[in-house]
């Protein structure tokens, strides 16, 4: 099939490459000339495990190409995915301007019975806006479907290749048939394509992210209760996660959820419900709890060292919002860096893949970087763990202790064992677990 993907970011690039991998001829379109140029030169602009070989193989096979020319890109396409960003607007609503622009750029160039698929996460009703936008510019018959994406950064290729389920909102047999044909190679292990109406598909994506965010915020609040009662959130997590009605995923207390999806999608669905006079009280609390959680490590640090951190130095392990990605959008590390710098401290950071990204976030010498994680520790008053990268899980504690000027660790991901940290002679501040050292309850 001839497929065009408009928007070549985390979602569009992965979807386009995987669809090419299944034998389709795929054109990826983006307005960012620099990105398209780099991709055509064989350079992959994001870090995502497994993506680079997939792109190079499909480029070499002639099944994948990158262009800024939307009109040329869609002329032959049977299916066009819109996968542009829908960032939060100033008012918290999802900003769908890029979606409208993408629809406008393809409208006059569709072949008859082309299927336009909304892959971006969009408020209910957006697919209809796209339909109207296109219909106002062409007489050619076309179909609109909704196919929200559930891939996780860090596992995006595997998630697309082996989805748990594919959700498709359709209102014509033709649209349904095209999506069935396109996804059939990816669900051979028996995973379902769940067909439904378009508004339900649009809302399913928000409901999924809302549910995941709610689990995390609830655990974070139980972690706070643990700190006041002597209970251990890790025991509680295992205790409830073994209940099949609850399940073990997304129950980890930590420094708050981040990334480009959960925070913005929770906010966006709250806003779009409010527009219809529906108050999503639970989600508002989920959001509020997370905003507070993102300041937890900084509050603990202030409890331990006082409000004035000037002249102090902190080592920060992890900048990406989670492991196996270089994405720093809404990462908890950013809240920590901002709070420390605001109070006069210096931050030396390390991340296995996100340091190039960080250099676009922090200008000049706003933060320092270590060539490896140990280099950040020299003369630091404490180590802060913000992202649970595999390589941080079993550090050489002798080397850590020798380099730090004080043996103090703030662990935003509960990676280490309090008893072991006590044996090693570290002050240790995890989240919702036994602390080692002067008690700091924030």
Ligand X SMILES: NC(=O)c1ccc[n+]([C@@H]2O[C@H](COP(=O)([O-])OP(=O)(O)OC[C@H]3O[C@@H](n4cnc5c(N)ncnc54)[C@H](O)[C@@H]3O)[C@@H](O)[C@H]2O)c1
- Residue 154 C-beta: closest distance to ligand X, Å: 9
412 phi and psi angles, rounded to 5 deg:
-85, 0
Between 94 and 223, CB nearer to ligand X: 94
Distance (Å, rounded) from C-alpha 309 to C-alpha 386? Answer: 19
Helix (H, G, I), strand (E, B) or coil at 424: coil
Helix ranges, 31-188 (H): 33-40, 51-60, 70-74, 97-107, 126-135, 156-161, 173-183
Assess 160 for contact with ligand X (CB under 6 A). Answer: no
Q: Which residue's CB atom is positioned nearest to ligand X? A: 9
How many residues are listed for the chain in this entry?
442
350 phi and psi angles, rounded to 5 deg:
-140, 145
Which span (78-86, 230-238, 286-294, 339-347) binds ligand X, by CB under 6 A? 78-86
Distance (Å, rounded) from C-alpha 80 to C-alpha 16? Answer: 10
On the CB side of 57, CA atoms within 13 Å amount to 13
308's tokens: 């004035």
Q: Determine contact, residues 42/56, Cβ cutoff 8 Å.
A: yes
> Which residues, other chains included, contact 276 with Cβ-Cβ below 8 Å and sequence gap of 6+?
none
Among 85, 395, 412, 430, binds ligand X (CB under 6 A): 85
Taking the CB of residue 75, how many other CB atoms lie within 10 A of it?
A: 16
Catalytic, 18? Answer no
- Residue 100 C-beta: closest distance to ligand X, Å: 8
- Residue 143 C-beta: closest distance to ligand X, Å: 20
Assess 212 for contact with ligand X (CB under 6 A). Answer: no
Between 106 and 233, CB nearer to ligand X: 106
Which span (7-15, 56-64, 127-135, 434-442) binds ligand X, by CB under 6 A? 7-15
- Residue 40 C-beta: closest distance to ligand X, Å: 14
- Residue 404 C-beta: closest distance to ligand X, Å: 35
Assess 30 for contact with ligand X (CB under 6 A). Answer: yes
Q: Print the binding letters for residues 117-156 with ligand X: x by CB under 6 A, - otherwise.
A: ---xx---------------------------x-x-x---
Q: Name the residues that contact ligand X, by CB under 6 A.
A: 6-12, 29-32, 35, 83-86, 98, 101-102, 105, 120-121, 149, 151, 153, 260-261
Active-site annotation, residues: 261
């Amino acid at each position: 099939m001839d497929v065009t993907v408009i928007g070549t970011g985390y979602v569009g690039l992965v979807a386009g490459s995987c669809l090419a991998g299944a034998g389709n001829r795929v054109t990826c379109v983006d307005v960012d000339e620099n990105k398209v140029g780099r991709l055509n030169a064989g350079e992959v602009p994001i870090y995502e495990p497994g993506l680079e070989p997939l792109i190079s193989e499909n480029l070499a096979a002639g099944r994948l190409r990158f262009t800024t020319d939307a009109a040329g890109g869609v002329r032959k396409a049977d299916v066009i995915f819109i996968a542009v960003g829908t960032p939060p607007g100033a008012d918290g609503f999802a900003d769908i301007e890029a979606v409208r622009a993408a629809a406008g750029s393809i409208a006059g160039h569709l072949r008859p019975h082309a299927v336009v698929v909304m892959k971006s996460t969009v408020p209910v009703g957006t697919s209809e806006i796209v339909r109207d936008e296109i219909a106002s510019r062409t007489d050619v018959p076309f179909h609109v479907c909704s196919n929200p994406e559930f891939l996780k950064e860090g596992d995006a290729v595997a998630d697309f290749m082996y989805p748990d389920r594919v959700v498709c909102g359709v209102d014509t047999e033709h649209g349904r048939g095209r999506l069935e044909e396109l996804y059939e190679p990816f669900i051979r292990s028996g995973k379902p394509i769940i067909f439904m109406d378009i508004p339900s598909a649009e809302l399913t994506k928000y409901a999924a992210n809302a549910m995941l965010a709610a689990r995390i915020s609830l655990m974070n609040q139980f972690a706070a209760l643990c700190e006041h009662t002597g209970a251990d959130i890790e025991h509680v997590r295992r205790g409830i996660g073994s209940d099949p009605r609850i399940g073990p995923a997304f129950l980890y207390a930590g420094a708050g959820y981040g990334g480009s999806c959960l925070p913005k999608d929770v906010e966006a669905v709250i806003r779009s419900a409010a527009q219809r006079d529906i108050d999503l009280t639970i989600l508002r609390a989920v959001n509020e709890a997370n905003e507070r959680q993102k300041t937890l490590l900084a509050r603990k640090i202030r409890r331990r060292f006082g409000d004035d951190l000037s002249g102090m130095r902190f080592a920060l392990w992890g900048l990406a919002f989670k492991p196996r990605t270089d994405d720093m959008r809404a990462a908890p590390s950013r809240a920590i860096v901002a709070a420390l710098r605001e109070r006069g401290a210096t931050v030396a950071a390390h991340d296995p893949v996100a340091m190039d990204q960080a250099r676009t976030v922090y200008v000049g010498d706003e933060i320092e970087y270590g060539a490896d994680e140990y280099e950040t520790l020299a003369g630091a008053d404490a180590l802060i763990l913000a992202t649970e990268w595999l390589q941080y899980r079993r550090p050489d504690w002798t080397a850590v202790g020798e380099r730090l000027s004080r043996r103090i660790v703030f662990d935003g991901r509960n990676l280490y064992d309090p008893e072991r940290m006590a044996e090693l002679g570290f002050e240790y501040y995890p989240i919702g677990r036994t602390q080692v050292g002067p008690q700091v309850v924030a």
